[in-house]
């Protein structure tokens, strides 16, 4: 199969993209499926929405996404946020939607609903998050992109934040994703090449409360859509390649309003103590196959024991040296894997450091998915 059969002909598409839409708007609805993947489909709207309340509820065949049985397959899409569409441009939009069953209950793979309850209950604490999304590029045969066929590149060392041929790969695709996120309104704060060649990272945040999960999911959608055009696959697996190669994580930076002002270190230390007591509950929600990554090597902590330290990238929780010096700021949870559901991670984080609420339990929410 030639590369032309994989890579989209976007240059040819442009002459159609410039056609007048005669006042119509195209809304691309996106949602999370049973496997933690992203699905999407488009619909035409008669006018540009001014708020999420203007967007219609929709539905899809849940039996084809693992979210419903065939005899009762309709799953409903309830819009929760929308963004400028960097592919269709103009007034066209990308709509993030929650999945609901026809009996009025959230679909069991809809973890946003419970997370939003916790964020609302603790909104006075102004919890900010910043997520560092690592990922790996693969070719059409599921080999690591641009690696020697049947072999390996030179050992890790020159690739992290590397510059130059042979040190970084697919920078054009990464730059395209960066610009797409900015256009869409995602609060993307940076990008960098990672330790393993063809592994990259982008950061989203700071974002307040539920907006963190929303923006990361949309940024992932944009990444996969951009990658389509370059004929590249995206892997969020935490250990895509066995051996002496770094895995991929989604380091989670956290602060409350009390942590961000002078004297905030005591609140950071209190949060770390609370996290230590719920280590295993957090690990359960921090991504599948994470045991392959959290080995105590390659800048990771042990999966079975909790640790924390200043500037220690081998700890469960890292407190940046600048924060320790100034006495306030934020902390970084280095345990989450690259394939996390950000609603589960940010939800249990708020539940642990800010307090549980009667009608939301993130550990039970995760177990509900397996029932």
Residue 124 belongs to a domain with what CATH number? Answer: 3.30.590.10
- Which pLDDT tens digit goes with each residue over 132-142? 999 999 999 99
Per the domain annotation, does 341 fall within a domain? yes
Per the domain annotation, does 169 fall within a domain? yes
Q: Considering only residues 119 and 17, tell me which one the structure prediction assigns the higher pLDDT.
A: 119
Same domain, 131 and 102: no
Task: Give the chain's domain count.
Answer: 2
φ/ψ of residue 26, rounded to 5: -100, 125
The crossing angle, in degrees rounded to 10, of helices 342-354 and 362-370 is 150
φ/ψ of residue 217, rounded to 5: -60, -40
Contact status, residue 279 vs residue 316, Cβ threshold 8 Å: yes
pLDDT at residue 3, rounded to an integer: 47
pLDDT at residue 362, rounded to an integer: 87
Same domain, 170 and 41: no
Q: 213 pLDDT exceeds 50? A: yes
Task: Point out the domain boundary residue: 58, 80, 107.
Answer: 107
- Which pLDDT tens digit goes with each residue over 242-277? 888 999 999 999 999 999 999 999 999 999 999 999
List, in order, residues 6 or more apart from 133 with CB less than 8 Å away: 201, 202, 203, 204, 216, 219, 220, 250, 338
pLDDT at residue 309, rounded to an integer: 95
Going by C-alpha positions, the residue among 37, 32, 51, 38 that lies closest to residue 93 is 51
Q: What's the CATH number where 25 sits? A: 3.10.20.70
User: Is this structure's pTM higher than 0.85?
Assistant: yes
Specify the range with the lowest mean pLDDT, choosing from 22-36, 280-294, 355-369: 355-369
Task: Point out the domain boundary residue: 48, 80, 107.
Answer: 107
Integer Cα distance of 100 and 115 in angstroms: 15
Same domain, 101 and 123: no
Same domain, 82 and 124: no
Per the domain annotation, does 15 fall within a domain? no
Please report which confidence band the pLDDT of residue 1 belongs to, taking 50, 70 and 90 as the band edges.
very low
pLDDT at residue 352, rounded to an integer: 98
pLDDT at residue 6, rounded to an integer: 60
Per the domain annotation, does 303 fall within a domain? yes
Per the domain annotation, does 14 fall within a domain? no
């Amino acid at each position: 199969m030639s590369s032309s059969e994989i890579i989209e002909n976007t240059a040819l598409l442009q002459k159609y993209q410039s056609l007048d839409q005669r006042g119509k708007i195209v809304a691309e609805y996106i949602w999370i499926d049973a496997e933690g993947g992203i699905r999407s489909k488009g619909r035409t709207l008669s006018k540009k929405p001014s708020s999420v309340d203007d967007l219609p509820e929709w539905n899809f065949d849940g039996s084809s996404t693992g979210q419903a049985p065939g005899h009762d397959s309709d799953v409903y899409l309830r819009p929760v946020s929308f963004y400028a569409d960097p592919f269709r441009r103009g007034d066209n939009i990308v709509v993030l939607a929650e999945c609901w069953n026809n009996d009025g209950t959230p679909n069991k793979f809809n973890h946003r609903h419970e997370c939003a309850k916790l964020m609302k209950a603790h909104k006075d604490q102004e919890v900010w998050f910043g997520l560092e999304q690592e990922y790996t590029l693969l070719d059409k045969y599921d080999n690591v992109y641009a690696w020697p066929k049947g072999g390996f590149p030179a050992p890790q060392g020159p690739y992290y934040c590397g510059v130059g041929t042979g040190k970084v790969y697919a920078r054009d695709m990464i730059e395209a994703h960066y610009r797409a996120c900015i256009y869409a309104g995602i609060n993307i704060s940076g990008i960098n090449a990672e330790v393993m060649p063809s592994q990259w990272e982008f950061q989203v945040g700071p974002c307040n409360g539920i907006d963190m999960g929303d923006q990361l999911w949309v940024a992932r959608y944009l990444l996969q859509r951009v990658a389509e055009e370059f004929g590249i696959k995206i892997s969020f697996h935490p250990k895509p390649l066995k051996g002496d190669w770094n895995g991929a994580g989604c380091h989670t930076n956290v602060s409350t309003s009390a942590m961000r002002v002078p004297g905030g270190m005591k609140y950071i230390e209190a949060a770390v103590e609370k996290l230590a007591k719920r280590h295993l509950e957090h690990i359960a929600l921090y991504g599948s196959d994470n045991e392959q990554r959290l080995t105590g090597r390659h800048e990771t902590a042990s999966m079975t024991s909790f640790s924390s330290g200043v500037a220690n990238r081998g700890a469960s929780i890292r407190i940046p040296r600048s924060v320790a010096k100034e006495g306030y700021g934020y902390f970084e949870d280095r345990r989450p894997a690259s394939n996390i559901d950000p609603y589960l991670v940010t939800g249990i984080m708020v539940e642990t450091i800010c307090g549980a609420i009667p009608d939301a339990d993130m550990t039970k929410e995760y177990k509900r998915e397996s029932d």
